[in-house]
Each structure stands twice: as C-alpha cells, then as structure tokens.
Amino acid sequence: AQSVTQLGSHVSVSEGALVLLRCNYSSSVPPYLFWYVQYPNQGLQLLLKYTTGATLVKGINGFEAEFKKSETSFHLTKPSAHMSDAAEYFCAVREGGSQGNLIFGKGTKLSVKP
C-alpha cells in the first residue's frame, strides 16, 4: 500500500529565509505526487504536481519540488519565505488502480516570523 510521510508537523522560518518541507512516499508503482496548501478555514489548493517528465516541478507562489526516485522523496522548497506563505501544507500520492484517490501525509504547518 502506498503511504506518505511528512517530516515535521510544524516548521518555523523567518521572512526571507529558505522554506524546506519534507515529504517521503512509498509506492510500488511510478507515483503521481502532489503538494496542496491549506490556508486557515479554507479548502485545499494545488501548489504543484509531478506525473511524468522533468523531475523538478515548479508551482504557484514561487514553490518548487523535486522528485527523487532513489530517495523516494518529493520535498517542497521556496527560496525566500513570505508572511503570506503561513499555512498548512500537505503532500499526497495518487492511489494506483481504479480508485485514483489521494493518500495524504499528516501535513506540515508553516509559520513565518517577521
């Protein structure tokens, strides 16, 4: 069965600092990987996704993630944090077979200090 592990339930960075949110997955088939962001009391918004092709994926709001098959990782980064990046971030892998549902990590809450 597929699973997703997000290291660190809470990450705090200073404004302007590098953001690194870690995600490792387990999958017996080539994975489809996603990062979603959730702002307080809102739904989930897609940041970026990896399906096939280039392993470095660029998303919205300056975020990017790199798929590393050898490390089974899909870490999310942003060179310079902004106050508006404070939110909860979820890594997810798409279930194979006919279901197609997402398997989510437990989430990482990002705080940005002024």
Partner 1 sequence: NAGVTQTPKFRILKIGQSMTLQCTQDMNHNYMYWYRQDPGMGLKLIYYSVGAGITDKGEVPNGYNVSRSTTEDFPLRLELAAPSQTSVYFCGIGGTPQETQYFGPGTRLLVL
**Is the CB of residue 55 less than 8 Å from the CB of residue 68?**
yes
Using rule CB under 8 A, residue 102 touches partner 1: yes
Using rule CB under 8 A, residue 100 touches partner 1: yes
Using rule CB under 8 A, residue 98 touches partner 1: yes
Among 42, 55, 61, 84, binds partner 1 (CB under 8 A): 42
Among 25, 35, 63, 90, binds partner 1 (CB under 8 A): 90
Stretch that binds partner 1, among 20-28, 29-37, 62-70, 73-81 (CB under 8 A): 29-37
Q: How many CA atoms lie within 13 A of 89 on its CB side?
A: 31
Smallest separation, CB 7 to partner 1 (Å) = 14
Q: What are phi and psi of 74, to 5 degrees?
A: -150, 65
Kindly report each contact of residues 60-63 with a partner whose C-beta sits within 8 Å and lies 24 or more positions away, as own/partner: 61/37, 61/85, 63/19, 63/35
Residues 6+ positions from 53 with CB-CB distance below 8 Å: none
Q: How far is CA 114 from the centre of its chain?
A: 23
Using rule CB under 8 A, residue 49 touches partner 1: yes
- Which residues make up the interface to partner 1 (CB under 8 A)? 4, 9, 32, 34, 36, 42-44, 46, 49, 51-52, 90, 94, 96, 98-102, 104-107
